[in-house]
Amino acid sequence: MMTMDDNPSLHAAPQAGMTSPALTGEQIATQAESMSRQLARVRTEIGRVILGQDRVVDLVLTSILAGGHALLVGAPGLGKTLLVTTLGRVMGMDARRVQFTPDLMPSDILGSEILDEDESGRRSFRFVAGPVFCQLLMADEINRASPRTQSALLQAMQEREVAIAGTNHRLPRPFHVLATQNPIEQEGTYPLPEAQLDRFLMQVTLDFPSADAERSMLLATTGTTTATAEPVLTAADVIQAQALVRALPVGEQVVDAIVRLVRAARPETTDDPTIREAVAWGPGPRAAQALMLATRARALLEGRLSPSIEDVAALAHPILVHRMALSFTARAENVRLPALVDTLVGRIG
């Protein structure tokens, strides 16, 4: 059973806007133990369908538990669409998919008002919700849409609402976007600006599966039967898990490691001359917030009560790399951001 010491170095951040009394250490431990068992079942069910992508599944689950959105980057055929539909089924969320194309307009995803006429001939406007009004949205190949449409979606991601004809419409809870990008084809695309990439809690890179995983995939997907995943959670359970993540205690060493890592990655605040020369701009405060939440979520997913510095190191790449940009000189010298982040991670232990 999980236990919680009366350790002054452990603390849970207050939750803004919450009026319910704070959970005691014993209540946090009890709820965390129960939720960890459920999340273990979630991973098992997803693993029946998604083969050879355990790391990706864990990162996406971590992002959802932390209340954020994820950008999936990988070659075609690696199961990104199947991952989203399976996640929706197992976690009890309404999942939808939108294929982004250059001619896709903001109203195609947000919705619009149409003019209705009743039997008496009276006319009035009626709002027709777009596909963004769901709980888990797959924005497939988001970089193929125009900047105008990208911005409309990213605003919905940040504000959790859309404004149509002067009226605000709240999106369902929970609401998460899993966007995809194809790193192979870049012709005719509109790359997301760095400021908009910052809206994604993490960027997850999908690699090709191992030989054993690919063999299992062939046998599982080309026969007469197809594996299916069973529901484990409901949308209400997901909201409860996200609230629990924010209540988990965090050690002072972990907080210090997050602050040191993020500040060391910025050319304005780093002590590393390599970072000052190679990085044009580094991660902002949102990166530190993302690390704080994601490390808690990862701990809960792995059945632990509080995060460790190992969690910070494991999440540094997916949270920091897409929030950093290299200088022109560094790009010319073939410097790689993941290598720079590795160097910084090695100093926080």
> N- to C-terminal Cα distance for the chain?
28
Asked if residue 149 and residue 58 are part of one domain, the reply reads yes
Q: Is the pLDDT of residue 21 over 70?
A: no
Peptide bond into 174 cis (omega under 30): yes
Q: Is the pLDDT of residue 309 over 50?
A: yes
Instruction: Give the domain-ending residue among 169, 204, 221.
Output: 221
Calculate the CA dihedral of residues 250, 255, 261, 263 and round it to 10 degrees: 140
Q: Is the pLDDT of residue 12 over 80?
A: no
Q: Is 183 exposed, middle or buried (0-12, 13-18, 19+ CB in 10 A)?
A: exposed
Asked if residue 252 and residue 215 are part of one domain, the reply reads no
Asked if residue 217 and residue 176 are part of one domain, the reply reads yes
Mean pLDDT calculated for residue range 244-271: 93
Asked if residue 199 and residue 51 are part of one domain, the reply reads yes
Closest CA to 77 of 230, 229, 184: 184
Asked if residue 77 and residue 151 are part of one domain, the reply reads yes
Q: What pLDDT, on a 0 to 100 scale, did the predictor assign at position 18?
A: 41
Which two three-digit tokens encode residue 60? 């996406």
Q: Is the pLDDT of residue 89 over 90?
A: yes
What kind and span of H or E run contains 219? helix 211-221
Q: Directed axis angle between helix 54-65 and helix 25-49, to 10°? A: 140
Q: What pLDDT, on a 0 to 100 scale, did the predictor assign at position 71?
A: 94
Number of structural domains (the chain) is 2
Q: Which structural domain, as residue segments, surrounds residue 77?
A: 46-221
Cα 176 to Cα 262: distance, rounded to the nearest angstrom: 25
Instruction: Name 103's Cβ contacts closer than 8 Å, sequence gap at least 6.
Output: none
Asked if residue 211 and residue 161 are part of one domain, the reply reads yes
Asked if residue 132 and residue 266 are part of one domain, the reply reads no
Q: What pLDDT, on a 0 to 100 scale, did the predictor assign at position 43?
A: 93
Q: What pLDDT, on a 0 to 100 scale, did the predictor assign at position 17?
A: 40
- Which of 208-212, 224-228, 255-259 is the least confident region? 224-228
Cα 26 to Cα 19: distance, rounded to the nearest angstrom: 20
Asked if residue 190 and residue 77 are part of one domain, the reply reads yes
**Domain-located, residue 235:** no
pLDDT digits (tens, 9 = 90+) for 259-276: 999 999 999 999 989 999
**Domain-located, residue 30:** no
Mean pLDDT calculated for residue range 325-346: 90
Q: What pLDDT, on a 0 to 100 scale, did the predictor assign at position 112?
A: 86
Q: What pLDDT, on a 0 to 100 scale, did the predictor assign at position 30?
A: 86
Asked if residue 271 and residue 171 are part of one domain, the reply reads no
Q: Is the pLDDT of residue 11 over 90?
A: no
Asked if residue 325 and residue 195 are part of one domain, the reply reads no
**Domain-located, residue 147:** yes
pLDDT digits (tens, 9 = 90+) for 227-242: 788 999 999 999 999 9
Which two three-digit tokens encode residue 2? 């999980």
Asked if residue 259 and residue 300 are part of one domain, the reply reads yes
Q: Is the pLDDT of residue 161 over 70?
A: yes
Here the CATH number for the domain that contains residue 207 is: 3.40.50.300
Please answer whether residues 214 and 79 qualify as being in contact, where contact means their C-beta atoms are separated by less than 8 angstroms.
no
Q: Is the pLDDT of residue 290 over 80?
A: yes
Asked if residue 55 and residue 168 are part of one domain, the reply reads yes
Q: Is the pLDDT of residue 146 over 60?
A: yes
Cα 65 to Cα 300: distance, rounded to the nearest angstrom: 9
CA 133 from centre of chain: 18
Regarding pTM above 0.75, the answer is yes
Cα 311 to Cα 147: distance, rounded to the nearest angstrom: 34
